[in-house]
Amino acid sequence: MFGFKRNNLADSSVNNDMLSKQRRYDSLVRALHADLFRYAYWLCGDKHIAEDITQETFLRAWRSLESLKDDKAAKAWLITILRRENARRFERKQFDYSDVEQSELADNVSLSTEDNMEQYLVRRQIARLEIEYREPLILQVIGGFSGEEIADILQLNRNTVMTRLFRARNQLKELLDQEHTRGRSNG
Amino acid sequence: MDELKFRREAYENPNNHDDDFLSAMRSSDERQAFVKDLKRLDSQIESALKVDVPEGLEAKLLLNQQLHQHQVQRRKTGFTMALVASVAFVAGISFTLLRLGPVDLGQHALAHVYHEDMALISHDDVSFNTINTQLASLGTLANARFTEQPGQVLYSTYCDFQGVKSIHLVMQGAQGKVTLFIVPVEDRMILDEAFADNRYQGMGFAADNAYMLLVGEHHDDLNNIKEEIKQSFI
């Protein structure tokens, strides 16, 4: 009878664990799914693939949620998982979209609202950036990570990261200026 | 901070809040305009990076996890069920084997006498015809019967000898009561010629296709009744 009672207690504490894990997961999804999806999108350039990667990432996160000790590090942790998932995509199978030129990806960016011509141009130019320049820029602008944190996530040294950030902005600025002068001379 | 370093840092992070950077920026209007320009670029980049998130992605992520959890739980339940089934199976097998194990009739007879102490108090007078009816209903002993009354029978009932249906009789001896068990012969039974504990003595013998077990307090009674049964039981 005591055994039974103890069993019950153990059961309920397991349930409590489950419940708090569930809550933790729910809040992670709520707070970070948009950033993660966007990051995935800018990594692979396709909304559907980005959605798949995001799903895989969160499922993996759920399975190993215990290993995330500090909730403040959740974003960097999830991004690390996501980058691994993205890399796995190329290991698994040589999908045809892996051959697609980065510059062509820009055409996938839909021109949804009319006032977004400017945004459309910027998106196209971001998609044209080399992935090694694009990634630190996204981490800095969307992720809000510092140079050190980006270096940590990408496993580069900080100087390399800063150089890449410099080049990323430099290239973007040049490309956009070109675009504008071209637009102006066309108009 | 020289111009080159300043521009470089501005490109690296226009929202830099280092004191060096800020004071360098404030040192000239041109530099401030430069940084402002870069910040404008950054906000452009930011809004460009914020592509629309597919509708219901959040719900999908939660659902996906729930389904996954559900599957894991089902797998776990399946495993538990298999475990429980195996335990039940093993228990069933060993119980059956136990019942098929060898039976020491002597010890069992003694235990039975102690267990059914009601039998020794009883004072019925059972006729041998009643006993014959009981014998006939035992299947394996259908042809065995008493030809005459084997002395006074005080008690008669069916009983269970490790799964074998048997007959339990109490008879009146010269000095005390004697319990008689008539057990159909089975291979796994071990018959002791004589057995005893501190209180009772017992003897066993085979008659036709039945084992006879006598348990009583006095050895003479046992012998007498054994003779009586040998004469009347065929």
Q: Do B111 and B177 share a structural domain?
A: yes
Distance from CA of B71 to the nearest CA of A (A): 13
Local confidence band at A110 (pLDDT 50, 70, 90 cut-offs): low
pTM of the model: 0.58
Structural domain includes residue B223: yes
Q: How many domains does chain B have?
A: 2
For B5-14, B41-50, B199-208, which range has the lowest pLDDT when averaged over its residues?
B199-208
Q: Which of B49, B69, B87 is the last residue of a domain?
A: B49
Q: Is B50 on the interface with A (CB under 8 A)?
A: yes
How far apart CA B7 and CA A25 sit, in angstroms, is: 42
Q: Is the pLDDT of residue A83 over 90?
A: yes
Optimal mutation site among A116, A166, A174, interface B, most CBs of chain B within 10 A: A166
Tell me the average pLDDT of chain B.
84
> Which residues on chain A are in Cβ contact (under 8 Å) with B38?
169, 173
Residues of A in contact with B44 (CB under 8 A): 118-119, 122
CATH 1.10.1740.10 placement within chain A: 1-100
Q: Is residue B209 part of a domain?
A: yes
Residue B49 CA to its chain's centroid (Å):
62
DSSP A30-47: HHHHHHHHHHHHHHHS-H
Q: How big is the A-B interface in CB pairs under 8 Å?
A: 88
> Is residue A92 very low, low, confident or very high in pLDDT (cuts 50, 70, 90)?
low
Range of the domain at B198: 103-232
Same domain, B36 and B149: no
Architecture of domain A1-100: Orthogonal Bundle (1.10)
Shortest CA distance from B8: residue in chain A: A166
* pLDDT number for residue B185: 79
pLDDT of residue A162: 93
Say yes or no for a CB contact (<8 Å) between B62 and A26: yes
Which range is most confident: A135-139, B54-58, B134-138, B141-145?
A135-139
Considering the domain architecture, whether residues B16 and B116 belong to the same structural domain is answered as: no
Q: Do B61 and A54 touch (CB under 8 A)?
A: yes
The residue assigned the tokens 């999804």 is A29
Q: What is the DSSP letter of B52?
A: P
pLDDT attached to residue A135: 93
Q: Which residues of B touch A165 (CB under 8 A)?
A: 11-13
Give tens-digit pLDDT for B170-183: 888 888 888 888 88
Q: Are residues B134 and B37 in the same domain?
A: no
State residue A95's pLDDT score.
53
Kindly determine whether residue B45 and residue A59, on different chains, have CB atoms separated by under 8 Å: no
Mark out chain A residues that contact chain B at CB-CB < 8 A: 25-26, 29-30, 33-34, 37-38, 41-42, 47, 51, 54-55, 58-59, 62, 109, 112, 118-119, 122-123, 126, 137-138, 140-142, 147, 162, 165-166, 169-170, 172-173, 176
Say whether B64 and A118 touch across the interface (CB within 8 A): no
Same domain, B12 and B126: no
What pLDDT, on the 0 to 100 scale, is given for residue A79?
Answer: 93
> Is-contact A137 A39, C-beta < 8 A?
no
- Residues of B with CB below 8 A from A41's CB? 51
> Which pLDDT belongs to residue A45?
87
Closest partner residue to A29 (CB to CB) among B41, B42, B62 is: B62
A33 pLDDT higher than 70: yes
Distance from CA of B38 to the nearest CA of A (A): 8
Same domain, yes or no: B118 and B32 = no
Nearest to A33 among B12, B61, B68 (CB): B61
Q: Tell me what the mean pLDDT of segment A68-87 comes to.
A: 90
| CB within 8 Å: B68 and A59 | yes
Q: In whole angstroms, give the CA distance from residue A45 to residue A121.
A: 15
User: Whose CA is closest to A134, among A167, A181, A96, A106?
Assistant: A167
Instruction: Assign B234 a pLDDT band (cuts: 50, 70, 90).
Output: confident
Is B73 a domain residue? no
Strand B210-216 with B177-184, pairing: antiparallel
CATH 1.10.10.10 residue window(s) in chain A: 105-187
CA angle A17, A23, A26 (to 5 degrees): 140
Categorize the per-residue pLDDT at A58 as very low, low, confident or very high, splitting at 50, 70 and 90: very high
**CB B51 to CB A109 under 8 A?**
yes
In this prediction, residues A33-45 reach a mean pLDDT of 92
CATH class of A105-187: mainly alpha
Span B136-157, mean pLDDT? 78
* Residue A100 binned pLDDT confidence (cut-offs 50, 70, 90): very low
How far apart are the C-alpha atoms of B156 and B137, rounded to whole Å?
A: 14
Quote the CA–CA distance of B62 and A22 in Å, as a whole number. 10
Q: Is residue B183 part of a domain?
A: yes
Contact B41 A173 (CB under 8 A): yes
User: What is the average per-residue pLDDT within B201-209?
Assistant: 82
Residue B102 has pLDDT above 60, yes or no: yes
In this model, does residue A111 exceed pLDDT 60? no
Please indicate, yes or no, whether residues B38 and B154 belong to a single structural domain of this protein: no
Average pLDDT over residues A39-56: 91
Residue B70 CA to residue B51 CA, distance in Å, equals: 32
Same structural domain for residues B219 and B146? yes
Report the pLDDT averaged over residues A11-32: 82
Burial (Cβ within 10 Å: 0-12, 13-18, ≥19) of residue B195: buried
pLDDT given for residue B96 in this prediction: 81
pLDDT tens digit sequence for A150-176: 999 999 999 999 999 999 999 988 888
pLDDT at B205 over 90: no
Residue B187 predicted with pLDDT over 90: no
Rounded Cα gap, residues B57 and A168, in angstroms = 30
Looking at this predicted complex, what is its ipTM? 0.73
Q: Do residues B61 and B69 lie in contact, with contact meaning Cβ atoms separated by under 8 Å?
A: no
pLDDT tens, position by position, B54-91:
888 888 888 888 888 888 888 888 888 899 999 999 99
User: What is the model's pLDDT at position A187?
Assistant: 47
CB B176 within 8 A of CB B201: no
Query: What mean pLDDT do residues A86-98 have?
Result: 69
Nearest to B203 by CA among B211, B194, B212: B194
Specify if B79 maps to a domain. no
